[in-house]
Structure formats: structure tokens, C-alpha cells
């Protein structure tokens, strides 16, 4: 038995060959991301063979000209004649909105405001030249809502943020008629108005208990009801329709243990057609019987879990993406009339030459009896016992790991490590009891769940207890620092990427536009004003003297979420105490690594670091 050949880092973490396809609203063209001189740009061509992902020659052309960070967020203008995309500078997340006129071949910046962050709220086939956006143009702390005319470039203010609005919602006429407002107690109010000229009125309140599992989805076509995710009166978020202003809600889809995830709404009738629940795998519930034949055909088209990424204005063609644990993402154009799908492309076809490892759902009981779920990826071709193990802790922490292709899991398994991913308490998707069990448990029970998962892997015989690493980014980077300081006896080494080291300074340096979430952070993490000693007790920086293991720390210099000082202050403390560590600072990155050269530099360093301390393989 032997490990399969090494998968080059360039294939795993370099630019994809093609990615993120989107059909034009008229169905005549397909856009996707692909490199131009090593930088991801938007390309446009004709969908099908010989174009836009087909196997033959094509006339596809790059329509954007980014030469720095690469484009990662874009969408079609509803007139099918424009591509719009968001871009920041150096990872600062001050996204500007740009438009490309495909016929003229010209580009312009629609929001030329330095230091301003743009968020796309909504756009509609029924208003092809309008986009509703939110900008913190007048006050860095709040995003007001604007209706942007793509022809003139004029942005008209349609809703002013008093300072506590965290979400705007439009109706079928693209009018901003609902808003979610943060409350001082950590909950949220749903605000409604009859028109954009009317005053706001509170329609309902979600307490802090329901805040992370509830929120608006869409108005009905006539604007008289609202579809919501709502966990009031239940454990998990149900999908409900609520007549306005205060009618009794009707449940459309529910599960006692899992929150409703994706919701597909008909673009004309605004009726809910599909809903998903992410259990061990993604499961879909068909609510519109007219789609049953289509969904049956989509399910049979390819193995794996699917998502509907796009649909034409005529709703005759869908763009469907599939994820599998042992293959890169693949995309198909699905013709509803024939029930057939036409293959477009896979994101990384070079991966198909290599043997990848299966990702297996796992579950175990934490020390207090709570059921914890996650995934384990074993190295292919070797015995499944006594392996070096890397526990890869997800970020957020209000997020979760899911089944499917995961480049880091495949990278680790290919190098000879078992990769353990744990959806610890505080992770989303498992109902409100589970997510709220993470309140005030950063570095506490959330870390206990990670430790209990590692001990489960040892008890199962999977992991060699002398060769275990903790690894992660963002909250996962914090968890890696916690592992090194709070439970160093369990780990041989740790890798932290953009991880907070001091919860006091982390909360006090959040971006100004996070101010509406400050109360939520105080409730769920801790209050720097009233609980400074508690936050210090959960901050790795104040426990550096406990570190007994080597550390690798990586940081983006322009990170607006986790300030570079979070890494540099703990690096300075380790340096002063003579603790074995490596520090990588990326001057042109923010919260993660957008540039492929930076990703490859980091993964090369991490691979050498893990091989040195756990004994796995490394590419030269």
C-alpha cells in the first residue's frame, strides 16, 4: 500500500482553469472566470461545444482587464449587455462596483468613492438597467440603500440607515420595503414600509436566541406577504410565509434539527420552488410540483450534490453546478424542454489525472453529551490507522464545513495526513440550540469540541497521538492559537492564518461598518467594557508562556477584519520568549490570500512546516 503521486500545489491552489460560470439573462452567452496573464478575469463566449467551456475552438474573449488581485465577484446586467463586478484594493474590502459594456468594449467605475464599501442588494429581470446597492458613503459606520441607474451612473438614495440596519430587502418592484435592524439586546427587528415614501414600522422581533437562525428571504409578487427563515417556536429555522402586516405564518419547509439553507424563488411569480437542508450532505425539498421532473433529471445528470447557480429570463435553461468529494467542481447547462444537460467545464481538469481521497461524514459525543458532526478525509492507499492528523478548524465561527471537494482536505490527505473537520458548537446549520451553545465559548466549550474530536480520532485508532496538528484561518486561526496555548500537550504544531490573538483588541478594532453587529459580538464573544478579564482569559496572547510547540502564523497586512496587530503582537511575544515560530506577512493581502502567488507561497511554507513536525510528504 502506498500514497498516490503528489498533486502539485499549483494544481490545487493556483488559479482554476475556469470557474463561476453564469448564463446571460437572454441565454445567448456564458460568462466565467479564467486567467489572463495569471490574473482571474471575466470571459464571455457562446455556451456549449466550441465556446465558453466547450471542448473545441472558441471565440471566447476576456472582457475585463484586472492585472492585480483578480476578479472574484461578478454578475450579468439584466440587459444581457453588461458585466458588473466588485473589486477592492489590496484586500481592504472596500469594494467598488464596475461595469463593462460588452458591445462597446468599455469599462467604467460606477462607484468612484475612495474608502467606500459597496454591497449589492438586488437586481431584477423586470428592471434591466437598475441595481439596488448599499454604500457607506456618507458615514463609514452605516450602509445606506441606493437605486443605481446603469445607463447614467446616477445613484439615488432610497433608504437612509439610522445606524442599526444590517440588511435591506426589496420587493417585486425593486423597492426597498423591508430592513433588518440590530437591537441593543443582540436580537433583530424586522421593519416594513408600504412604499419608499412611507415611514418604517416594526413588524416582528427576533430575540438574540433566534438572531442567527432567522431573517427575510423575499416578498410575494403582490407585496402582501413575506417569506422568512424563522426559528421562533422551533429549534431550527423553518421556511415560512407570513401575510403582512401581522398574519399567521404558514410553514413551507422544516426539519427539527437542521436550518433551512438555500431557497430558490421563481423570478416572476415569487413563489418558493425549492429549499435545501445541509445535513451530512445537501438535501433538496421540491415545493413546486412543476419542477419535479426537472429536479429528477438534474439529480441523475451527475453524481454529487448540486446547486442551481443561474437561470435564464425565459427560465428555459439552468446552470447547474455539482460538487463531489473526489473531483473538482463541474458545471452543466440544463435544458428544461429536453431534460438534458450539456457539460460546460470542470474548474481544475488537471486534477482528474490524480487520485483524490474520500470525505466521510462523522459524528461523536462531546464531553457534555452534545452531538457533534464533522468530516474525516483519510489518505488514499494507506492503512487507516496510526496516521498523522491535521484538525482543520473552520472560520466564522458562524459557519460550517460541508461535504464536497475541499482543496485543503485533499492537499493534506495527499501529503499523508488524515484531515479532521469538526462543526463544533457555534457552527451554523444545526438549529439555534447548537449555534447558541457557542455563546461566550470562544476558547471554552467550542475548543473542547475540537479537542474531543481529536480524542475521538485517537480512540478510533485513526490518529497517532504523537503527530497531531491544529490548523485554521480566521476563527480557525484563533482556534489554532488556542490549541497552542490552552492544550499544547495535545498538538505537535499549529498553523494560524489571520487569527485573533487578543479578543479585547480584536473586538475594539472591528471595521466601522461592523458597528451594528457590535452588540452581537458582545453577547456571543464577550464585552470588552464589562468583561475584560474574561476576554483576557480566552485570549492566547496572555498565555504565550504555555506554548510548547512550533507555530506558523500568516497574516494579510490590509486585513480589515482581523487587524495585522493580532498576529504581530503574539509573534513579538513568542520572539521575546524564544518560542519556535515562523511568521509570514503578505503586504498585498487582506483576510486571506486572493493572489495565486501568495497562496502558493503560503502553502509551500505550510507544507514544509507540517512535514518537518508531523513527518508527511512535501513537494520540492
Cα(234)–Cα(555) distance, integer angstroms? 40
The pLDDT confidence band at residue 57, using thresholds 50, 70 and 90, is very low
Cα(248)–Cα(230) distance, integer angstroms? 13
Mark out the alpha helices in 440-496 (DSSP H runs).
Answer: 445-459, 475-486
- End-to-end Cα separation, the chain, in angstroms: 23
Q: Is the pLDDT reported for residue 110 higher than 90?
A: yes
Cα(561)–Cα(93) distance, integer angstroms? 9
* Residue 29 contacts residue 80 (beta carbons within 8 Å): yes
Nearest to 479 by CA among 538, 418, 437, 401: 538
User: At 409, phi and psi to the nearest 5?
Assistant: -60, -40
Report cis status (omega within 30 of 0) of the bond before 245.
yes
Average pLDDT over residues 375-387: 97
The pLDDT confidence band at residue 50, using thresholds 50, 70 and 90, is very low
The pLDDT confidence band at residue 47, using thresholds 50, 70 and 90, is confident
Instruction: Enter the pTM of the model.
Output: 0.96
The crossing angle, in degrees rounded to 10, of helices 596-614 and 407-414 is: 40
Q: H or E element: which one contains 613? A: helix 596-614
Cα(541)–Cα(538) distance, integer angstroms? 9
- What is the pLDDT at residue 516? 87
Residues 505-537 pLDDT 10s = 999 999 999 988 899 999 999 999 999 999 999
Q: Which residues contact 455 (CB under 8 A, 6 or more apart)?
A: none
- What is the pLDDT at residue 512? 94
Range 352-614: architecture per CATH: 3-Layer(aba) Sandwich (3.40)
Cα(566)–Cα(131) distance, integer angstroms? 37
Share of the chain above pLDDT 70, in %: 98
The pLDDT confidence band at residue 226, using thresholds 50, 70 and 90, is very high
* Residue 357 contacts residue 379 (beta carbons within 8 Å): yes
In what side-by-side order are the strands of the sheet with 39-45?
19-23, 30-36, 39-45, 61-62
Buried b (16+ CB within 10 A) or exposed e, 162-178: eebbbbbbbbbebbbbb
The pLDDT confidence band at residue 378, using thresholds 50, 70 and 90, is very high
* Residue 166 contacts residue 189 (beta carbons within 8 Å): no
DSSP-derived pairing of the beta strands 188-192 and 176-182: antiparallel
The pLDDT confidence band at residue 130, using thresholds 50, 70 and 90, is very high
- What is the pLDDT at residue 52? 54
- What is the pLDDT at residue 55? 43
- What is the pLDDT at residue 147? 98
* Residue 257 contacts residue 305 (beta carbons within 8 Å): no
Residue with cell 503528489: 6
- What is the pLDDT at residue 49? 56
Nearest to 517 by CA among 139, 205, 182, 206: 182
Grid cell for residue 156: 439615488
* Residue 192 contacts residue 201 (beta carbons within 8 Å): yes
Can you name the residues that pair with 10 across neighbouring β-strands? none
The pLDDT confidence band at residue 54, using thresholds 50, 70 and 90, is low
Cα(391)–Cα(384) distance, integer angstroms? 16
Cα(130)–Cα(374) distance, integer angstroms? 42
Q: Which residues are catalytic?
A: 474, 559, 591
Amino acid at each position: 500500500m502506498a500514497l498516490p503521486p503528489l498533486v502539485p500545489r499549483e494544481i490545487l491552489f493556483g488559479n482554476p482553469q475556469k470557474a463561476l460560470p453564469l448564463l446571460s439573462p437572454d441565454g445567448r452567452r456564458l460568462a466565467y472566470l479564467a486567467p489572463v496573464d495569471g490574473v482571474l478575469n471575466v470571459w464571455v463566449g457562446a455556451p456549449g461545444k466550441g465556446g465558453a467551456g466547450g471542448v473545441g475552438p472558441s471565440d471566447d474573449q476576456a472582457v475585463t482587464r484586472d492585472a492585480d488581485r483578480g476578479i472574484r465577484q461578478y454578475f450579468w446586467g439584466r440587459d444581457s449587455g453588461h458585466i458588473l463586478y466588485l473589486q477592492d484594493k489590496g484586500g481592504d474590502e472596500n469594494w467598488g462596483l464596475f461595469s463593462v459594456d460588452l458591445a462597446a468594449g468599455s469599462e467604467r467605475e460606477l462607484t468612484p468613492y475612495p474608502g467606500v464599501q459597496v454591497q449589492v442588494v438586488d437586481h431584477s429581470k423586470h428592471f434591466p438597467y437598475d441595481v439596488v446597492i448599499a454604500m457607506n458613503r456618507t458615514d463609514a459606520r452605516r450602509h445606506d440603500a441606493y437605486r443605481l441607474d446603469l445607463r447614467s451612473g446616477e445613484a439615488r438614495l432610497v433608504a437612509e440607515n439610522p445606524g442599526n440596519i444590517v440588511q435591506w430587502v426589496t420587493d417585486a418592484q425593486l423597492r426597498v420595503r423591508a430592513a433588518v435592524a440590530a437591537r441593543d439586546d443582540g436580537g433583530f427587528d424586522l421593519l416594513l414600509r408600504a412604499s419608499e415614501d412611507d415611514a418604517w414600522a416594526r413588524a416582528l422581533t427576533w430575540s438574540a436566541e433566534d438572531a442567527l437562525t432567522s431573517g427575510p428571504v423575499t416578498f410575494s409578487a403582490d407585496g402582501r406577504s413575506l417569506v422568512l427563515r424563522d426559528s421562533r417556536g422551533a429549534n431550527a429555522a423553518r421556511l415560512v410565509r407570513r401575510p403582512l402586516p401581522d398574519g399567521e405564518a404558514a410553514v413551507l419547509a422544516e426539519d427539527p434539527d437542521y436550518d433551512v439553507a438555500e431557497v430558490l424563488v421563481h423570478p416572476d411569480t415569487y413563489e418558493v420552488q425549492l429549499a435545501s437542508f445541509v445535513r451530512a450532505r445537501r438535501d433538496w425539498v421540491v415545493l413546486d410540483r412543476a419542477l419535479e421532473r426537472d429536479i429528477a433529471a438534474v439529480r441523475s445528470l451527475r453524481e454529487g450534490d448540486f446547486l442551481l447557480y443561474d437561470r435564464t429570463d425565459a427560465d428555459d435553461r439552468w446552470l447547474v453546478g455539482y460538487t463531489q468529494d473526489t473531483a473538482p467542481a463541474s458545471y452543466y447547462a440544463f435544458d428544461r424542454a429536453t431534460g438534458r444537460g450539456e457539460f460546460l467545464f470542470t474548474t481544475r481538469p488537471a486534477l482528474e489525472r490524480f487520485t483524490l481521497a474520500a470525505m466521510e461524514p462523522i459524528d461523536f459525543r462531546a464531553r457534555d453529551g452534545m452531538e457533534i458532526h464533522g468530516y474525516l478525509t483519510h489518505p488514499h492507499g494507506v492503512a487507516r490507522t496510526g496516521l498523522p492528523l491535521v484538525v482543520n478548524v473552520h472560520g466564522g465561527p458562524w459557519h460550517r464545513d460541508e461535504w464536497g471537494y475541499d482543496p485543503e482536505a485533499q492537499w493534506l490527505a495527499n501529503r499523508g495526513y488524515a484531515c479532521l473537520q469538526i462543526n463544533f458548537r457555534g457552527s451554523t446549520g444545526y438549529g439555534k440550540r447548537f449555534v447558541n451553545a457557542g455563546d461566550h465559548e470562544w476558547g471554552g466549550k467550542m475548543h473542547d469540541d475540537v479537542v474531543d474530536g481529536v480524542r475521538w480520532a485517537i480512540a478510533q485508532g485513526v490518529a497517532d497521538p504523537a503527530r497531531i496538528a491544529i490548523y485554521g484561518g480566521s476563527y480557525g486561526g484563533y482556534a489554532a492559537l488556542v490549541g497552542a496555548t490552552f492544550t499544547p500537550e495535545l498538538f505537535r504544531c499549529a498553523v494560524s492564518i489571520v487569527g485573533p490573538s487578543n479578543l479585547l483588541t480584536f473586538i475594539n478594532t472591528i471595521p466601522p461598518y461592523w458597528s451594528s453587529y457590535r452588540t452581537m459580538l458582545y453577547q456571543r464573544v464577550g464585552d470588552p467594557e464589562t468583561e475584560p478579564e474574561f476576554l483576557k482569559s480566552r485570549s492566547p496572547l496572555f498565555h504565550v508562556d504555555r506554548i510548547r510547540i512550533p507555530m506558523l502564523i500568516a497574516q494579510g497586512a490590509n486585513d480589515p477584519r482581523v487587524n495585522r496587530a493580532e498576529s504581530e503582537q503574539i509573534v513579538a511575544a513568542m520572539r521575546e520568549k524564544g518560542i519556535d515560530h515562523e511568521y509570514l506577512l503578505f503586504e498585498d493581502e487582506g483576510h486571506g490570500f486572493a493572489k495565486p502567488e501568495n497562496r502558493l507561497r503560503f502553502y509551500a511554507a505550510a507544507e514544509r512546516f507540517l512535514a518537518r513536525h508531523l513527518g508527511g510528504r512535501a513537494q520540492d
